[in-house]
Homo-oligomer: A and B are copies of this chain.
Amino acid sequence: MIFGSDNQAGASARIVKAVSDAYTNTTESAYGEDSFSTAAVDALRQVFDTDLSAYFVVSGTAANTLALSTMVQPWDGIICHHQAHILLDESSGPALITGGASLLPVPSKELKITPEALSTMLQRLPNEPPHNIRPKALSVSQANEGGQVYSANEIKALSKLAKEQGMYVHMDGARFANAVAALDCHPADITWKAGVDALCLGATKNGAVAAEAIVFFDRSLALDFEYRLKRSGHLVSKSRLFGAQFLAWLEDDHWLALANAANGKAQELRERISTLDGVRLAFDTQSNESFIILQQKLYDELIGEGATMYAWYLDSLPDNVLLDEGEVLARMVTSFETQSVQIDSFVAACNRLGT
């Protein structure tokens, strides 16, 4: 009953082997100039079918904050969803790395940023420079923190609005693989072809040891980027660590296989939950995250029996979803390692305890 987070899983055997091989009896250049990292950037160019600049870091927060720092001045703002990881779960990282830029959540309680909500926000933002915050980047999570996936057209519509205001578009792709798998689309369709300037492409949550790529489709943003890496402590000397992982992850669409596995188990979980009495889905999701509503008592008992999942921010609920007295919202995440037997156990426990 392990549904705590996809970052609590291990790594895929192919990636583990790739790391082991890279470090065994081989001398390599350091600081990103190793042959693995160079090849991995080439592999990204193949996967995305375009020229691009890419860099590798050890965490999603590093990736997001460093990517955003190329788009905004310290006096600018970054528009994001009110549940965005960069807003709620990265401490003051964006402010540190950008030198003080502000996060501006879209004032709407919907599960995704909609063009309508973004447009209204842009019209109402104070506009008396230099007193106010000037929006200069839009950050979209794909798949997002509520398990939602944006279609290519949705990304395009948001990007269009952003670009009309002179804003860059950043994609937090900590679960980008899950989104591509869910949409069954080409990675280019929901990134550079849809107006995305930089993608933070997460491998960690999808079967890697620890590896995130910052992919610049707008290569002008990469100017001086090594300085940004270095000064934040993210220019790693034995950088083959990241290159080796990404090579293995991208090879033979291994990344999509891993994501499909995680998504498939999430789908299975949701289908099984829909048959339960005391537990219901809070809203539909398309990726490897599911959100359920259940009585606090049942939640506590499940945790007591060893289930891992997290009670979740109530503000992630759209306005039309209400909790009843004593109910709690919980997030369940599957990974490439999730087995059906864990779902069986969970369902059985719910049935046993929930009545």
Q: Give the interface of A toward B (CB within 8 A).
A: 2, 5, 7-11, 13, 15-17, 19-20, 22-30, 57-63, 65-66, 73-76, 88-93, 95-97, 99-103, 124, 126, 128-134, 204-205, 209-210, 224, 226-238, 241, 313-315, 337
For residue A29, which residue of chain B has the nearest CB? B8
Q: How far is the CA of A8 from the CA of B32 in the complex (A)?
A: 11
Chain B residues within 8 Å of A236, by CB: 58-59, 210
Would A30 and B10 be within 8 Å (CB), given that A57-B233, A91-B227, A313-B126 are in contact? no
Asked if A89 and B23 make an inter-chain contact with CB atoms under 8 angstroms apart, the answer reads no
Q: How far is the CA of A175 from the CA of B272 in the complex (A)?
A: 54
Asked if B100 and A75 make an inter-chain contact with CB atoms under 8 angstroms apart, the answer reads no
Chain B residues within 8 Å of A129, by CB: 226-227
Q: Identify which of A19, A88, A232 gathers the most chain B CB atoms within 10 Å of its CB.
A: A232
Q: Identify which of A25, A103, A226, A237 gathers the most chain B CB atoms within 10 Å of its CB.
A: A237
Would A237 and B23 be within 8 Å (CB), given that A126-B88, A224-B73 are in contact? no
A316 CB → nearest B CB, Å: 10
Chain B residues within 8 Å of A61, by CB: 230-231, 233, 235
Q: How far is the CA of A31 from the CA of B16 in the complex (A)?
A: 20
For residue A62, which residue of chain B has the nearest CB? B233
Chain B residues within 8 Å of A238, by CB: 7-8, 11, 204, 209-210
Would A233 and B93 be within 8 Å (CB), given that A23-B16, A129-B227, A224-B75 are in contact? yes
Chain B residues within 8 Å of A103, by CB: 102
